[in-house]
């Protein structure tokens, strides 16, 4: 979000925090804490039943949510942007609290995935699987786009479980132990991991598509990769452009896909019909329009499942970008995807 109505002293502190290296130090320490907490929790979680572990996750999330005023503030600010006067302050507070519980449940499900996998067909229901089969039957690769909503880690793991080659683009964590833990989890579940800042990420990305595989990407984050600014809940938001660039330049379909929680437990995966890249003759306009369409789909999904999205991510933290140069952006977008 922009620094409107923020005292100059606070703005100065933020600039110093970002430029001094202190931010990276704090982030590394936070990731180290997450790693140690995760390792310490693995044993007890794996020793208890899934229903009890999920109930514990809810209680633990409530405690942590109350203990982190910064998380609450960001979540409530962003909920106000998204829903404004259509939701009361109490309703927005409930959504923020439930969203934090969703994150805790996601962590438990990852820790318990060895128990869940043998009953995947019971724990997960699927709608739209024929769309995935259709693009594969056409002997074409595809890009699967999603967001940090529901259990986005379960989605590629389930696709791999069904015997389909899938690679997921991922951010390298600041703590190498946490990075290794997450990478091992994904690869052990049959998902190829492409770290977007690696020297070989562009080659790996193109290889997946050349081999007619599925390339999975999350798009609902303002991260330091080639991006364009398109509307998201009524405000322009920087949105990674790699998925649209690859789709337009290689003429391949895009499959929006989501894994949402079911009231009875488990998840319902929805795979939407493929979006074919536009062919207006102006590739730059096509990339912009395709990215705009992705955000519309993500926003609609979040509106229908608001308690399952990461509301504390700084989605509008930076001002909109001016027009982008596709020829300059495309190679970096593929390399950073």
pLDDT of residue 296: 98
**pLDDT tens digits along 131-171:** 999 999 998 889 999 999 999 999 999 999 999 999 999 98
- C-alpha 58/C-alpha 296 separation (Å) is 30
CA end-to-end distance (rounded Å), the chain: 24
Among 33-37, 179-183, 196-200, 293-297, name the one with the lowest average pLDDT.
33-37
**pLDDT tens digits along 96-132:** 999 999 999 999 998 899 899 999 999 999 999 999 9
The number of beta carbons lying within 10 Å of the beta carbon of residue 322 is 8
More reliable by pLDDT, 24 or 261 = 261
- C-alpha 79/C-alpha 100 separation (Å) is 13
More reliable by pLDDT, 198 or 1 = 198
In terms of DSSP bridges, do strands 227-232 and 235-240 run parallel, antiparallel, or are they unpaired? antiparallel
| Predicted TM-score of the model (pTM) | 0.85
Phi, psi of 210 (to 5 degrees): -65, -30
The domain segmentation of the chain, as residue ranges, is 8-113, 121-336
């Amino acid at each position: 979000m922009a620094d409107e109505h923020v005292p100059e002293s606070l703005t100065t502190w933020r600039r110093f925090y970002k430029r001094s290296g202190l931010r990276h130090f704090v982030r590394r320490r936070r990731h180290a804490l997450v790693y140690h907490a995760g390792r310490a929790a693995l044993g007890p979680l794996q020793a208890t039943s899934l229903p009890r572990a999920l109930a514990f996750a809810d209680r633990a999330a409530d405690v942590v949510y109350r203990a982190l005023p910064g998380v609450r503030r960001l979540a409530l600010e962003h909920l106000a942007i998204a829903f404004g006067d259509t939701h009361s302050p109490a309703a927005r507070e409930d959504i923020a609290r439930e969203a934090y519980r969703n994150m805790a449940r996601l962590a438990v499900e990852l820790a318990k995935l060895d128990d869940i996998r043998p009953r995947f067909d019971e724990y997960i229901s699927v709608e739209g699987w024929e769309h995935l089969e259709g693009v594969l039957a056409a002997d074409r690769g595809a890009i699967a786009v999603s967001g940090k909503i529901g259990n986005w880690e379960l989605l590629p793991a389930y696709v791999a479980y069904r015997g389909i080659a899938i690679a997921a683009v991922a951010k390298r964590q600041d703590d190498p132990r946490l990075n290794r833990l997450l990478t091992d989890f994904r690869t052990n579940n049959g998902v190829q991991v492409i770290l977007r800042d690696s020297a070989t990420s562009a080659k790996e990305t193109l290889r997946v598509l050349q081999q007619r595989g599925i390339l999975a990407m999350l798009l609902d984050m303002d991260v330091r990769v080639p991006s364009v600014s398109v509307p998201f809940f009524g405000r322009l938001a920087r949105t990674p452009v790699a998925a649209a660039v690859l789709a337009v330049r290689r003429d391949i379909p895009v499959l929006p896909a989501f894994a949402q929680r079911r009231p009875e437990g488990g998840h319902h995966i929805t795979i939407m019909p493929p979006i074919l890249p536009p062919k207006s003759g102006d590739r730059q306009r096509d990339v912009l329009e395709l990215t705009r369409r992705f955000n519309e789909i993500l926003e609609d999904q979040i509106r229908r499942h608001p308690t399952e999205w990461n509301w504390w991510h700084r989605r509008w933290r930076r001002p909109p970008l001016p027009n982008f140069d596709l020829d300059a952006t495309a190679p970096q977008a593929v390399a950073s995807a």
